[in-house]
Structure formats: C-alpha cells, structure tokens
Amino acid sequence: MTELREQVRRHYAEAALAESCCDDSCCDSSTPLGCGNPTAVAELREGEVVLDLGSGGGIDVLLSAQRVGASGTAYGLDMTDEMLALARRNAAESGLTNVHFLKGVIEQIPLPAESVDVVISNCVINLSVDKPAVLAEIARVLKPGGRIGISDLVAEDRLAPDERAERGSYAGCIAGALSKGEYEAGLEAAGFVDIDVTFTYEAVDGIHGAIVKAVKPA
C-alpha cells in the first residue's frame, strides 16, 4: 500500500512541477485529464461548504468557490506538496478568499465530523489504496443530508482486478478502479443512500468515466 501511494505521489508531483496538470488527476496518455465536471454534478449552491478530494492544481476548488459564493467555503485536500504549491499560486491569482488548501490523504480527512455539505472528487478515489476508508471518511465529514458528486473511472462488473490492471497503471487511474457493483456496495456499507453510479463514456475496454452520486441520511 505504501509503495503504491508513493508511486501515485511521485506521478502527480512530477506533473505539478511541469505545470502540466492544472486539474486534479489522471495525467497520462492513457486517460483523459480528469473524468468529468464534479462541480456541475454536485449542483453546488450559495453558502455551502464543499470539499474536493485530491484537489491537484485546484481548478475544481476555484470553480466551487465561485459557485458557493462569499458566504460559502471551498476546501481542497491533496497529499502532494508540489500540487499544493501550484494550487495556492492559482488561488492567489484568482483573488478568491473563500478557498483553503489542506495537506493530507483522502483516507484521513483533516476536517471535523459533520462539517461539509458536499464532497466532490475528479478521478481520484480510484487512486486510493484503501477505498473503504475513503468512503467512511467522506461519510464522517458530511453533515446529515450532505451529498457527494464524484467523477471517477469505474470498471464494468465483468472485469476482475487483474483484468483492470492489464488495461492501465495504478497512477493512470485504471488498475485501481472499482467495479460499478463494488462502488455501490462500498457506498452502501459506508451508510449512504440514493446511490447512483452512471457510466458516461468508455476510457478503455470495460473501464468507463462515471458520475457517482449518493446522500448521507439526514
């Protein structure tokens, strides 16, 4: 697990230093830059507190900050110093004051319980080495009635883990992708309701960009 996490960290540190990845994730030739538009998926509203997991260069955080307005707050969480530095430069240039970038891993979110209205993520949860922990942490930080709006790469249920690994690397967001059924079961185990995992396009054979939505019970 530690080795895989370090592999992912190095991959995105190099991307940040090259400033070739101003979005969050999946910067390699085998996948698109990110998986979608989680800020639109989550239908952010004025005054909300939003958290972007694996915020990378901070673009989705800045877009979220604009959507929630001055009365709202947008947090970005990333484990890579180089990405955080890039994100903070982007935030300074934007002039937005309701933006905060935090260092940490998505398996241990450094925010209090029930402090966030919406959790978004753009092609990052598939990079985690402990996805049940990520989903449990999302549930912990969300307020009752809070929701997720996630773009991710998700495998068809027919593909076994070794078949996913044959189609791409872990850092490239392919090998670590959950299947649709695994995602749904994981969200249910974490206590979510109104779970929906919808494929939007096929990235490689049997691996799709997907929109993932769910709600923490009120």
Q: What is the dihedral of CA 161, 4, 52, 196, to 10 degrees?
A: 10
For the chain, give the percent of residues with pLDDT over 90.
Answer: 68
pLDDT reported for residue 165: 87
Closest among 27, 212, 9, 29 to 128, alpha carbons compared = 9
CB-CB neighbours of 189 under 10 Å: 12
Q: Note the pLDDT tens digit of each residue in 93-130.
A: 999 999 999 999 999 999 999 999 999 999 899 889 89
Residue 22 identity: C
Q: If pLDDT is split at 50, 70 and 90, which confidence band does 213 have?
A: very high
The tens digit of pLDDT for each residue in 12-65 reads: 556 555 554 444 444 333 333 566 777 777 889 999 999 999 998 999 999 999
What pLDDT band is residue 150 in, cutting at 50, 70 and 90? very high
Q: Is the pLDDT of residue 149 over 70?
A: yes
pLDDT in tens, 57-75: 999 999 999 999 999 999 9
pLDDT of amino acid 176: 86
Pairwise CA distance, residues 116 & 73, whole Å = 9
Q: Which domains does the chain have, with CATH numbers?
A: 2-215 (3.40.50.150)
